[in-house]
């Protein structure tokens, strides 16, 4: 829609939506806006009109909210990373708690479940241990290296500094941009599927202070890789390992089909709650290491595990939860679909001397259906599914298993509420949930809930 006077309106912002947008009303319809905070009067450009709602963006601030704060990042507003960096952190937590409560009541119809006081993050900046930066070219000799423009999957801006990952990562990004320019290495074109440089992934550890640089390219060896490594280490000596992943697929994801270690061991190690975990370039690990300790400790306290418990850890990833819990229980069985993650989980168990845990590769629904004899002795279940929540067939199988204790760790309140409603309908109760903020300045929120068999 063309920006003209007819599409510029004056609105008062009333609330914040689940996706970080602000909420106003106009002509009896809801308006979702990019920008703005509750209590502010704004001029907004309405760029999309639907039957039940409109969409727009704030173009001028008329009155300023007391909740507004100066942002640290020069990219805020245009970057797709932070959505709430201009909102006081205490209010971020308040709105996230409201999001959890709204989902439980509106989607799950669970009006009696207590939403406990949210646990905030000790670090509000430089808390991420992983970031993916993208290369982008428009077809000429110029390119950008950075993060996505807000709302645009096909546009990348040149990053000066991100305040969510470590300061070391910012120096790596600057070095990489200069190096690719100097050596005139062609950047991948996502439309033409030509060129070489695709992604730069950086992983840091908090407890052990290790840094991995993962360069993801199109097919082919990295040119003069030894010279590249020496240049990087000279500029950023904190880097402990460098890997090169080749990905020639059209799907634009920073996962390689073939990996070559260019420097170091190809892994970094992080410590959580006294255990040590190896992290490879493509393995999953909680993105906020310090707050992951809080999340898991909270969950274990709610689970109230006993020494004779036999625990089923579903969607176990690289085994972090099960390995941390293993000292408290008799046995842990982990189930995970991704084969590489299962191998990493077994390796992490060996690394920590944990011998009362085993891992199975496959779909959760298939494992629960095909291993009824193995699961008969299970007394407790932990689920930590992806954002989509539990597969409906897997949830049905889990209900049939009828565990006495069920701990659900979720990164998506809406799918948690959907699954919780089915569990309550099947005879479980959910007295309380505990929100934990893993990602300050974003709209994302994690929560933990323990279900009791009535």
DSSP 120: -
DSSP for residue 189 = B
Q: Active site residue: 73, 103, 162, 411, which one?
A: 411
CA distance 223 to 179: 12
d(CA 243, CA 232): 12
The rounded distance, in Å, linking the Cα atoms of 420 and 449 is 9
Tell me, rounded to whole angstroms, the distance of Cα 412 from its chain centroid. 10
CA angle, 394 as apex, 388 and 397 as ends, to 5°? 155
Look up residue 116 and give its DSSP letter: P
Query: For residue 121, how many other CB atoms are within 10 A of its CB?
Result: 20
Do residues 448 and 409 make contact, with C-beta atoms less than 8 angstroms apart? yes
CB 187 within 8 A of CB 195: yes
> What is the DSSP track for 122-157?
S-SSS--SEEEEEEEE-SSS-EEEEEEBTT-TT-EE
Alpha helices by DSSP H, 204-284: 225-235
Q: Tokens 């006077």 — which residue?
A: 5
Yes or no: say if 120 and 437 are a contact pair by the CB < 8 Å rule. yes
Give the three-state DSSP class for 311.
Answer: strand
Query: Residue 106 class from Cβ within 10 Å (0-12 exposed, 13-18 middle, 19+ buried)?
Result: exposed
Active site residue 411: yes
For residue 282, the SS3 value is coil
Q: What is the largest distance, in Å, between two alpha-carbon atoms of the chain?
A: 70
Place of tokens 């209010």: 91
Residues with Cβ within 8 Å of residue 275, at least 6 apart in sequence: 323, 324, 348, 352
Separation between Cα atoms, residue 344 and residue 340, nearest integer Å? 6
- Count of positions (residues) in the chain: 454
How far apart CA 341 and CA 351 sit, in angstroms, is 15
**Cα–Cα distance for residue pair 230/443, rounded to 1 Å:** 39
The dihedral built from the CA positions of residue 164, 168, 170 and 173, taken in this order, carries a sign that is: negative
Distance CA 242, CA 267 (A): 9
Residues with catalytic function: 411
């Amino acid at each position: 829609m063309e920006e003209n006077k007819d599409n510029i309106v004056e609105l008062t912002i009333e609330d914040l939506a689940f996706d970080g947008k602000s909420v106003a009303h106009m002509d009896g319809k809801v308006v979702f806006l990019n920008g703005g905070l509750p209590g502010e009067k704004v001029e907004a450009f309405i760029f999309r009109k639907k039957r039940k709602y409109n969409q727009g963006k704030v173009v001028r601030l008329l009155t300023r909210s007391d909740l507004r704060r100066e942002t640290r990042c020069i990219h805020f507003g245009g970057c797709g990373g932070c959505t709430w960096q201009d909102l006081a952190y205490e209010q971020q937590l308040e709105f996230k708690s409201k999001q959890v409560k709204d989902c439980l009541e509106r989607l799950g119809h669970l009006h009696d479940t207590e939403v406990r006081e949210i646990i905030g993050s000790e670090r509000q900046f430089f808390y991420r241990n992983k970031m993916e930066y993208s290369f982008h070219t428009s077809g000429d000799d110029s390119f950008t290296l950075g993060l996505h423009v807000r709302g645009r999957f096909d546009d990348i801006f040149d990053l000066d500094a991100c305040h969510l990952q470590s300061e070391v990562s910012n120096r790596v990004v600057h070095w990489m941009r200069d190096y690719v320019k100097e050596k005139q290495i062609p950047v991948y074109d996502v439309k033409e599927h030509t060129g070489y440089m695709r992604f730069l992934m950086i992983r840091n550890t908090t407890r052990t202070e290790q840094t991995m640089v993962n360069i993801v390219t199109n097919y082919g060896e990295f040119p003069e890789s030894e010279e590249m490594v020496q240049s990087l280490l000279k500029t950023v000596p904190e880097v402990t390992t460098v890997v090169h992943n080749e990905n020639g697929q059209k799907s634009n994801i920073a996962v390689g089909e073939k990996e070559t270690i260019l420097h170091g061991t190809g892994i970094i190690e992080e410590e959580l709650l006294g255990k040590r975990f190896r992290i490879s370039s493509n393995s999953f690990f909680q993105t906020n290491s310090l707050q992951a300790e809080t999340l898991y400790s909270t969950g274990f306290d709610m689970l109230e595990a006993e020494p004779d418990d036999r625990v089923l850890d579903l969607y176990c990833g690289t085994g972090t939860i099960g390995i941390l819990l293993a000292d408290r229980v008799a046995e842990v069985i982990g189930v995970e679909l991704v084969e590489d993650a299962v191998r990493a989980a077994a390796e992490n168990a060996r690394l920590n001397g944990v011998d009362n845990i085993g891992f199975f590769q496959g779909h959760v629904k298939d494992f629960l259906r095909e291993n009824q004899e193995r699961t008969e002795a299970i007394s407790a279940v932990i689920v930590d599914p992806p954002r989509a929540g539990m597969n409906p067939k897997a949830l049905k199988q889990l209900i049939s298993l009828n565990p006495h204790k069920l701990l659900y760790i979720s990164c998506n309140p809406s799918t948690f509420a959907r699954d919780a409603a089915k569990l309550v309908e099947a005879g479980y109760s959910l007295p309380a949930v505990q929100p934990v903020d893993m990602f300050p300045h974003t709209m994302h929120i994690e929560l933990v809930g323990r279900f009791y068999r009535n």
